[in-house]
Structure 1
Amino acid sequence: MDRRRMMIGFDMRCLGFMMAKMVLRELMDPLIFSKFKTFLVKGHDPSCLREFMLQTLNRSSSSGNVGLQMLDRNWGAGWNLLSSLLATKPSKRMSCLDALRHPFLCGPRWRITPSMDIIRWGLGSTAVRIIEEYIYSRPQRNRISYFIELMEMLNPNSKPKNWFELLPGKWRLIYCTGRHVGLTLRQPPARVLIGNVSLTVSKLSKQSRDLSFTSSVDFTVMTGQDWPHDKTGVDGQLQVNSPFKLMSGKRLYLKGEKNTTSGRFSFGESTDMDSLAPKLLAGRWRKAMPFKEFPSSLRVAKLASGENVDITMTFDDGEKGRGNVVQARDALREVRIQLPPEMFDLSRIVCGTFVDARHLVLRGVNGSALLFARSCLDQ
């Protein structure tokens, strides 16, 4: 890269810092700003900045997180512009002309044609914002599934080598399209409050495509028969480790429920072409589809689990005896009820359908989708 382009890249990065301080008032705090700079100095992808800032900023600040609301508008366009200005490599940073044409600065009144990257960004940001509302009614769940299907259709990294580069890291589970417990009147033997649920992927070898998946679940067991206002109790953690092999595969879409399609693997009813095609190829997103007709298959990353599975559970109640074992058993049973089965039995994960710097979508053997967000904390 020549000196002129390096200087332009440096100026755009400085502009990104100025934009961040103007929009996010909390960055005026020297302590928070030092964490912000440390996040970038460590080489983390700026596209994960929202996930990092949500856990770093004080939600009860006097500014009321107005900056977060501004950046979340227009399908998260503000976060896209900020990450483009703060890109690690100078060659990846947005130019001044492209920044002036960005949807965040132009707004909805100026008609511009967004790029495919901005469309993908908007899909992921909108799905996350819907999930954060925590009101999972039937129309809302259908809409989230619709956005996940669109993300899979527009997956920019379908080759196994791209998956092998982007998949390693720590991913936080934010949603599952499978069965949800929801509000219930049942009386569980143990009152368990689920904390962070994450999936850590690490490479076993640089030459081969062998990976290690570690599912980690933090939970708290509250004492007493009723749900107390004080959500403190006995902390515990469940970890499941399993090796995986990354291969190339296809996700087959069945035309009709009774038809059978030969191939590497398929998912049955969850990938029925007759029900998906009218939804995905209609509406405001039909122009973003790279094809006019619904495809019979899509390239995915097939994940084959190994035989060696390690399960570890820690339970810190400070007591010994049979009561401790019974309490741990009841807690484990309740954790399995509240979690997607794929997070406990990793062999049920069969393929990955979407991955980028921010989000990951994995499919289970029953067709349910697990949506993850990349976590840059405690790595």
Structure 2
Amino acid sequence: DWVVFVLSQVLKKLAHRQMMYHSYAMQVHGYVTPSKAMEEGDSPLVLVHGYHGSYSLRHWLQLSDWLPTLEATLALDEEQVRRVGDDSVGGPAVTRQLRLIRILMRDLLIGVNYLHSHGMAHTELRLENVHVSPVDKHVKVGILGNAVDFHDNDPSSSAVASNNERRKMMIAFDMRCVGFIMAKMVLRELMDSSTFQKFKSFLNKGNDPSCLREFLLPILSQNSPSGNIGLQMLDRHWGAGWNLLALLLATKSDKRISCVDALRHPFLCGPKWRISPTVNVVRWGLGSTAVRLAEDYIYGHHQRRRLAYFIELMEVLNPNSSTENWLRLLPGRWCLLYCTGRHIGLTLRQPTPRVLISDAFLTFAEAPESVDPILSLTSDIGFKIMPESDWPHDKSGTEGNLSVTTSARITPGRIYTNAEDGKESSSRITSSRYLGGKWGKAAKMKQLPASLPTASVNVDENDVDVSMSCGSTLKVKSARKVLQEVRTQTPPEMFDLSKIVCGTYIDSRLMVLRGVNGSALLFVRSNRTSDP
């Protein structure tokens, strides 16, 4: 008994001692049951020890030749990669890194899930605490000195509800830490402390993590003109990586994905594994594909037709069709990505003056002191007046902005999918190709609905404020020409807001509005912190 008492006192000191961490070895910790339980003899002494002899994952990732070194350490062969749904080794750098990240992430999630299934939370998941064992080639989750039990020691029934809430919060915290680990493994730029601080600041300000791509795109493309490898990995498989990252880092803890569901996510499953994606994943893939297509200059008719098809399929799968959801998600700043209407550029027309459109934003804001659901609606179109002589090569010039402000009321509405039924409607979906093809099968639609719920946008045409500013002084005639050129190159709905008829799709990331002529406008949410 005396030996047990002395040993317990030593282990208590070891467990609470703040020791310097070494990247090549894990600390040894002791776990002692409460003294009352020890005296009654109900529980034995439990020792928890760590694993020695391996560098931390942070150390591996900081090596200049980390990819071949880790591949050699894990001894990747065809038998090894089969456990992530792949059957080959080698290949391009993007494929190799994605395969390696799948292996590391799956091992990490299995280890964290093991802890959670045994009633414990790690609470300190970081790259420094994750090791690769050279013995069995698996990831080891170490430094369990700060691990905590889900349940309080109070056995009273009143503590059951609080214990359940405590368990959910701890699991959600661990999953957020796993999200940070994944982000650093995929996006090497986040290994820099200043860049990672911007990343965390974006999330801490309450921004939705589903908008991370738009926030990180300028940072990732800054030093990678040929394409960022991490960006390519997350964009693969219809943006599945961004979806998993958003689920791991969800703002609300109850919305974060669990370890088991994360292991079934398409991003962590290789091409040889047949998985049935959920409707949410299908919807995310449609939106991501539409965004990727819109980012490229649309040359051919087949590209425009394909993009219009994706937008229409998104409208059919709109998850937030009620007016209440629209009023909740609409407020904010939205950047115009694409319009299915007519596109007019500069190349063939060569107008005077030469005006280059930069960005077009649509901002919805709650009207102050308004009882009814009335929103303030502002369209901001940025442009640049380029020099006449060498404008194809010299894109510098005088910057300006065109702003249109009005108010709008959001009410329930319908949009028809059949041209005959939609004679009374000014906008309708005319495509009937939803039921076939890969996306139609994934969405599991047996029949196209006759009509879809929308949010009608009723603009007050009597209260419109139009203003234009420019960095240089323009004569009245020149200003009129600039205004006319801006209106020519932008969709008419962005200048005459009364031509916006309804909203057909919205989520935390994307929005689709329909115009009076039936054209669709695709928007992506723009957080001001991501603007240059």
Q: Quick check: 2:435–2:445 contact (8 Å CA) kept in 1? A: no
Deviations 1:27-53 (A, max 9, x none): 122221111011000010000000111
Aligned counterpart in structure 2 of residue 213 of structure 1, from 354, 377, 402: 377
Q: Provide the C-alpha distance between the structure 2 equivalents of 1:63 and 1:142, rounded to a whole number of angstroms.
A: 28
Q: Quick check: 1:76–1:121 contact (8 Å CA) kept in 2? A: yes
Partner-residue secondary structure (3-state), 1:32: helix
Deviation of the 1:132 alpha carbon: 1.5
Aligned counterpart in structure 2 of residue 367 of structure 1, from 502, 518, 521: 518
Partner residue in 2 for 1:333:
484
Partner residue in 1 for 2:36:
none
Q: Provide the C-alpha distance between the structure 2 equivalents of 1:39 and 1:80, rounded to a whole number of angstroms.
A: 17
Partner residue in 2 for 1:7:
170
Confirm or deny that 1:311 pairs with 2:466.
yes
Q: What is the TM-score normalised by the length of structure 1?
A: 0.92
Q: Provide the C-alpha distance between the structure 1 equivalents of 2:365 and 2:315, rounded to a whole number of angstroms.
A: 23
Aligned counterpart in structure 1 of residue 509 of structure 2, from 346, 358, 365: 358
Aligned counterpart in structure 2 of residue 197 of structure 1, from 360, 367, 372: 360
CA RMSD between the two structures: 1.9
Partner-residue secondary structure (3-state), 1:198: strand
Q: Provide the C-alpha distance between the structure 2 equivalents of 1:260 and 1:217, rounded to a whole number of angstroms.
A: 32
Q: Provide the C-alpha distance between the structure 1 equivalents of 2:392 and 2:225, rounded to a whole number of angstroms.
A: 29
Q: Provide the C-alpha distance between the structure 1 equivalents of 2:210 and 2:192, rounded to a whole number of angstroms.
A: 22
Report the CA distance shift for 1:182/1:219 in structure 2 as closer, same or farther (over 3 A). closer
Deviation of the 1:371 alpha carbon: 0.0
Partner residue in 1 for 2:293:
130
Q: Quick check: 1:241–1:311 contact (8 Å CA) kept in 2? A: yes
Q: Provide the C-alpha distance between the structure 1 equivalents of 2:422 and 2:258, rounded to a whole number of angstroms.
A: 50
Q: Quick check: 2:220–2:231 contact (8 Å CA) kept in 1? A: no
Q: Provide the C-alpha distance between the structure 2 equivalents of 1:143 and 1:74, rounded to a whole number of angstroms.
A: 17
Q: Percent identity?
A: 57
Q: Provide the C-alpha distance between the structure 1 equivalents of 2:303 and 2:225, rounded to a whole number of angstroms.
A: 31
Letter in 2 for 1:358: R
Partner residue in 2 for 1:271:
429
Deviation of the 1:207 alpha carbon: 3.9
Report the CA distance shift for 1:212/1:24 in structure 2 as closer, same or farther (over 3 A). same
Partner-residue secondary structure (3-state), 2:393: coil
Q: Quick check: 2:250–2:256 contact (8 Å CA) kept in 1? A: yes
- Structure 1 residues 21-40: aligned runs within 5 Å: 21-40=184-203
Partner-residue secondary structure (3-state), 1:243: strand
Report the CA distance shift for 1:370/1:260 in structure 2 as closer, same or farther (over 3 A). closer
Report the CA distance shift for 1:64/1:185 in structure 2 as closer, same or farther (over 3 A). closer
Gaps of 5+ in 2: 1-163
Partner residue in 1 for 2:394:
230
Partner residue in 1 for 2:440:
286
Point out the structure with max Rg over C-alpha: 2
Confirm or deny that 1:344 pairs with 2:495.
yes
Report the CA distance shift for 1:219/1:103 in structure 2 as closer, same or farther (over 3 A). same
Partner residue in 1 for 2:218:
55
Report the CA distance shift for 1:228/1:152 in structure 2 as closer, same or farther (over 3 A). closer
Q: Quick check: 2:387–2:397 contact (8 Å CA) kept in 1? A: yes
Deviation of the 1:209 alpha carbon: 0.9
Q: Provide the C-alpha distance between the structure 1 equivalents of 2:444 and 2:503, rounded to a whole number of angstroms.
A: 20
Confirm or deny that 1:253 pairs with 2:381.
no
Q: Provide the C-alpha distance between the structure 1 equivalents of 2:310 and 2:406, rounded to a whole number of angstroms.
A: 29
Q: Quick check: 2:335–2:359 contact (8 Å CA) kept in 1? A: yes
Q: Provide the C-alpha distance between the structure 2 equivalents of 1:180 and 1:140, rounded to a whole number of angstroms.
A: 13
Q: Provide the C-alpha distance between the structure 2 equivalents of 1:350 and 1:35, rounded to a whole number of angstroms.
A: 38
Q: Quick check: 2:279–2:443 contact (8 Å CA) kept in 1? A: no
Aligned counterpart in structure 1 of residue 403 of structure 2, from 228, 231, 239: 239
Which structure ranks higher in relative contact order (CA pairs < 8 Å, sequence separation ≥ 6)? Answer: 1
Q: What is the TM-score normalised by the length of structure 2?
A: 0.66
Partner-residue secondary structure (3-state), 1:170: strand
Aligned counterpart in structure 2 of residue 43 of structure 1, from 206, 211, 218: 206
Deviation of the 1:5 alpha carbon: 1.4
Query: Could you tell which deviates more after superposition, 193-202 or 343-352?
Result: 193-202
Q: Provide the C-alpha distance between the structure 1 equivalents of 2:345 and 2:356, rounded to a whole number of angstroms.
A: 13
Partner residue in 2 for 1:76:
239
Q: Quick check: 1:300–1:352 contact (8 Å CA) kept in 2? A: yes
Confirm or deny that 1:105 pairs with 2:268.
yes
Deviation of the 1:293 alpha carbon: 2.2
Partner residue in 2 for 1:116:
279
Letter in 2 for 1:60: N
Q: Quick check: 2:346–2:354 contact (8 Å CA) kept in 1? A: no
Q: Quick check: 1:252–1:266 contact (8 Å CA) kept in 2? A: no
Q: Provide the C-alpha distance between the structure 1 equivalents of 2:236 and 2:166, rounded to a whole number of angstroms.
A: 36
Q: Provide the C-alpha distance between the structure 1 equivalents of 2:335 and 2:363, rounded to a whole number of angstroms.
A: 9
Deviation of the 1:64 alpha carbon: 4.7
Aligned counterpart in structure 2 of residue 161 of structure 1, from 290, 302, 324: 324
Q: Provide the C-alpha distance between the structure 1 equivalents of 2:207 and 2:331, rounded to a whole number of angstroms.
A: 13
Partner residue in 2 for 1:181:
344
Q: Provide the C-alpha distance between the structure 2 equivalents of 1:17 and 1:54, rounded to a whole number of angstroms.
A: 17
Q: Quick check: 1:170–1:374 contact (8 Å CA) kept in 2? A: yes
Report the CA distance shift for 1:289/1:61 in structure 2 as closer, same or farther (over 3 A). closer
Q: Quick check: 1:202–1:211 contact (8 Å CA) kept in 2? A: yes
Q: Quick check: 1:25–1:63 contact (8 Å CA) kept in 2? A: no
Higher share of residues assigned strand = 1
Report the CA distance shift for 1:255/1:131 in structure 2 as closer, same or farther (over 3 A). closer
Report the CA distance shift for 1:154/1:64 in structure 2 as closer, same or farther (over 3 A). closer
Deviation of the 1:183 alpha carbon: 6.4
Q: Provide the C-alpha distance between the structure 2 equivalents of 1:28 and 1:288, rounded to a whole number of angstroms.
A: 37
Partner-residue secondary structure (3-state), 1:280: coil
Deviations 1:302-324 (A, max 9, x none): 1100020000100111x4xxx53
Report the CA distance shift for 1:244/1:21 in structure 2 as closer, same or farther (over 3 A). same
Report the CA distance shift for 1:221/1:123 in structure 2 as closer, same or farther (over 3 A). same
Deviation of the 1:222 alpha carbon: 1.2
Deviation of the 1:294 alpha carbon: 2.1
